[in-house]
Every structure is written in structure tokens, then in C-alpha cells.
């Protein structure tokens, strides 16, 4: 494998590392602004996972080819990065994130998690990965089977994040009253009628 192929793979993992770092900041900003304790903890947990992913990916990158790649070099992920940055700006304007805010943000966050999961899936399924594996092992002393397991683990986390966002959505969705008419059960209508005794 040539240096160009190694560099391409390193840039790929480095850009994902940057994306995860930005995503971590987004969830951290949200968790700080939420008052509901359980939701605060769930959002902070996603933030911690995303930061862990970022650090793992940075380690993979440096094991292949040390790079000083920055966000500007990640044109392939520009759409997702811009979405994360827009969401960051949107949440930073809020002094407090209400239940309504969380409900409005939920779909955008679930879309983000879905897109992240797809990027990892594409990487794991790459046909070139198998071809590159042996050469990378020899040239850079990194076992891409281990890298594959890292990505598979991250994919599982992304799925779990989507589930957690679904849980948060249920927690902040108001219970809609189907009918405001009070429910009355009629068990024994005959008992209502008691003839008054006639007085003479």
C-alpha cells in the first residue's frame, strides 16, 4: 500500500474524530441547559461517548499516519459538520432548554446519530479495507481487525444514542387527552332511582 492510501485512510478517521468531538460539545451544551435530572444525565452520557469515540479515532489515525488535519480538510463530512455547528449555535442561544425545545431538537439529533452510524457502517463494509489490512499491518503495525471492532463498537453506541433520544422524546412529549369529557361508569342505573315514599 502506498503512502497516499494510508494518508486517505488517516484523513478519513481524523475527520470522523473531529466530527465526534464537535458532537460531544453539542450534547454537553444541551445537558448543561436542561433542568430535568434524568435527561441531563442521558445527554451528558452521549457527550462522554462521543468524546471517547473522538479519542479512539484520533489514536487510530496517529497509528496509521500522524496527521494535523483540521476541519477544513473534511469536505466529505461538511454537511454533517455544518449540521452539528448549526445545532450548537441554536442551543447556545438558549439560556434554558425546555421540554418543548428538546421535542423540537429531537428529530434533528436522531438524524445526526443516524448519519454518524451510516459513516461507520460504510467504513466497516469497505471492500478496500480487506485488501489494505495485510499491508497496513506490515507497514504500520496496526491490526485492522482491531480497528474494525472499534468501529463496530462505535456503531453500537450510535444505535444506543438513537434509542436514548427516543426515550427522551417520550419523556418530554405531553400526554394528549383524547377526550376532555369526564369518563363516567354506569354500573347500576336502577340504583339511582329510589321512589320517595308517599306521605299521607
Task: State pLDDT tens for residues 118-172.
Answer: 888 877 776 656 655 655 666 666 666 777 788 889 999 999 999 999 999 999 9
Class of 3-170 in CATH: mainly alpha
Q: Whole-prediction pTM value?
A: 0.78
* Nearest alpha carbon to residue 175 among 116, 99, 93: 99
The pLDDT assigned to 179 comes to 46
State yes or no: pLDDT of 5 exceeds 60: yes
Q: Which residues contact 22 (CB under 8 A, 6 or more apart)?
A: 81, 84, 85, 88
The pLDDT assigned to 79 comes to 85
The pLDDT assigned to 47 comes to 97
The pLDDT assigned to 178 comes to 41
* C-beta neighbour count of 112 within 10 angstroms: 23
The pLDDT assigned to 148 comes to 76
Q: What's the angle, vertex CA 104, arms to CA 36 and CA 170, rounded to 5?
A: 55
Least confident of 19-28, 51-60, 65-74: 65-74
The pLDDT assigned to 1 comes to 47
* Nearest alpha carbon to residue 14 among 65, 45, 58, 79: 58
Amino acid at each position: 500500500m502506498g503512502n497516499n492510501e494510508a494518508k486517505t485512510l488517516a484523513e478519513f478517521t481524523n475527520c470522523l474524530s473531529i466530527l465526534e468531538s464537535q458532537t460531544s460539545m453539542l450534547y454537553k451544551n444541551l445537558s448543561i441547559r436542561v433542568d430535568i435530572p434524568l435527561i441531563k444525565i442521558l445527554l451528558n452520557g452521549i457527550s462522554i461517548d462521543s468524546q471517547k469515540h473522538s479519542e479512539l479515532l484520533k489514536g487510530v489515525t496517529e497509528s496509521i499516519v500522524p496527521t494535523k488535519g483540521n476541519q477544513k480538510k473534511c469536505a466529505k463530512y461538511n454537511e454533517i459538520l455544518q449540521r452539528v455547528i448549526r445545532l450548537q449555535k441554536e442551543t447556545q442561544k438558549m439560556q434554558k432548554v425546555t421540554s418543548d425545545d428538546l421535542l423540537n431538537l429531537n428529530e434533528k439529533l436522531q438524524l445526526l446519530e443516524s448519519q454518524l452510524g451510516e459513516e461507520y457502517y460504510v467504513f466497516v463494509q469497505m471492500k478496500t479495507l480487506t485488501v489494505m489490512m495485510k499491508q497496513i499491518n506490515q507497514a504500520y503495525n496496526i491490526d485492522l481487525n482491531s480497528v474494525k471492532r472499534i468501529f463496530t463498537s462505535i456503531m453500537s453506541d450510535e444505535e444506543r444514542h438513537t434509542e436514548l433520544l427516543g426515550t427522551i422524546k417520550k419523556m418530554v412529549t405531553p400526554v394528549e387527552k383524547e377526550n376532555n369529557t369526564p369518563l363516567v361508569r354506569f354500573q347500576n342505573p336502577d340504583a339511582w332511582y329510589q321512589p320517595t315514599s308517599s306521605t299521607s
